[in-house]
Amino acid sequence: MEAKKTALYDVHCKLGAKMVEFAGFWMPVQYKGIVEEHKRVRTTVGIFDVSHMGEFIIEGEKAAAFLQYVTINDVNKLQPFRAQYTAMCYDDGGMVDDLILYCFEDHFLAIVNAANRQKDYDWMKQHLLPGAKVLDKSDDYSLFAVQGRKAEPTLQKLTDLNLAEIKYYWFRTGKIAGVDTVIARTGYTGEDGFEVAVPVAESEKVWNAILEAGAEFEIEPIGLGARDTLRLEMKYSLYGNDIDQTTNPIEAGLGWITKTDKG
């Protein structure tokens, strides 16, 4: 099957990115170099296009009960505008995938690994409870990660939201560069930062606005190569490399999200 292109494929090519096939998508692995990009995030700020990730909407009166059943963390601890790192497991404890849940007032958003998008969707559909619905909205959104100590002042220029009020693993809805977005204080680098979901049609507008806003902090686009080295430094797992269907969460050091006594 031919690899897909994100909405910013041409933008990355014009920026001189080295494009590689990853999880079924053509993605930028590096621009100026992995080491330089790694240091940029650790010292100032960088922006990643992670639009290959999957986005599912889970809704219905039994949405919370379904997620409590199908994931290993305690969904009942969530409240609107809070996020939760969790995973889904097979009957033998092997991991289907690790993911992040975002709790809205009337539904949930799940961000899943790109390589597992279809598998995760099928798994959820197979175990769906009556009164819950799962919708694959992955093609409707682009996802950007703005990471580094200057992420907040960069994005603050583009929104009326008070980003300082968004705590780690919380999120808000609001406008970035005049575009409706979901902005979460989450990331995969170990640095302070945000992940921003935008309608796919507005991808280039928001991307360019963030690069312009971060120019005074010497923001740079960052590829998947540096994303990998950054997450390795923080001991963050990558599905398919460090964890998979043969690994259970306890073996993976994820006992802290494994709530065996939840209701």
152 HSE (CA, 13 A, CB side): 13
- Residue 199 has a pLDDT of 98
- Residue 146 has a pLDDT of 99
| Overall domain count for the chain | 2
- Residue 48 has a pLDDT of 99
Residues 158 and 39 in one domain: yes
Residues 26 and 132 in one domain: no
Positions in the chain short of pLDDT 70: 1, 263
Residue with tokens 């769906």: 128
Question: Whole domain around residue 72: which residue ranges?
Answer: 55-138
Residues 149 and 229 in one domain: yes
What are the start-end ranges of the E strands in the chain? 4-5, 18-22, 25-30, 46-49, 54-59, 82-89, 95-103, 107-112, 133-136, 141-147, 171-176, 179-184, 193-199, 220-221
Cα separation, 89 vs 211, in Å, equals 38
- Residue 262 has a pLDDT of 87
CB atoms within 10 A of CB 55: 22
Residues 43 and 143 in one domain: yes
- Residue 263 has a pLDDT of 67
Record the tokens describing residue 62, joined without a space.
Answer: 């039994």
- Residue 63 has a pLDDT of 99
Residues 225 and 146 in one domain: yes
